[in-house]
Structure 1
């Protein structure tokens, strides 16, 4: 995650989960993880995927997740639920 709270989704995962630039993505805070996936019916936070697969993580989510001062994340995918997961270390 960059200093401006942008995360770049790797191209392989963008293609696999159809998270292409210009499309919407939902950001969900679940315990100590952030989930990025296609929006569902009950999505609260939606952002547009930027050029190069960037997703701007809203400041409110960063503060709620206590990610503000953290530099290291574990990033993985949940293929069953079709989402990218960021977990603070």
Structure 2
């Protein structure tokens, strides 16, 4: 089950701050790799499976992660687009969804 955490505008750098409470619970600590996968108009962010072919990004020192340009294009994300970050405690992942007016 998804729990909404926060909605805000996407910025031009493509960085998303992952909330600390769940970051450590999900194993997404600074310096660790995360898998980012596109799935039905959303991006799933979870602890990396080294065998997977999904986009991989390092979790930064402050707990943020960069959404790669190719995923931004798949979701048709433009600067200042609003997104919501959801918590999926069951699957130990974050889910990023774009809230668009188009």
Give the TM-score taking structure 1 as reference length.
Answer: 0.90
Q: Deviation string for 1:30-78 (max 9, x for gaps)?
A: 1111110011232421111111111011111101111124521121111
Aligned residue in 2 for 1:16:
25
Q: Which has the higher contact order (CA 8 A, sep 6+)?
A: 2
Return the index of the structure with the highest Cα Rg: 2
Confirm or deny that 1:28 pairs with 2:40: no
Provide the C-alpha distance between the structure 1 equivalents of 2:11 and 2:19, rounded to a whole number of angstroms. Answer: 14
Higher fraction of strand: 2
Moved over 4 A (4+): none
How many equivalent pairs are there?
89
Structure 2 spans left out of the alignment, 5+ residues: 1-9
Aligned residue in 2 for 1:65:
75
Match of 2:84 among 71, 74, 85: 74
Higher fraction of helix: 1
C-alpha RMSD over aligned residues: 1.4
Provide the C-alpha distance between the structure 2 equivalents of 1:74 and 1:54, rounded to a whole number of angstroms. Answer: 15
Structure 1 spans left out of the alignment, 5+ residues: none
Give the TM-score taking structure 2 as reference length.
Answer: 0.79
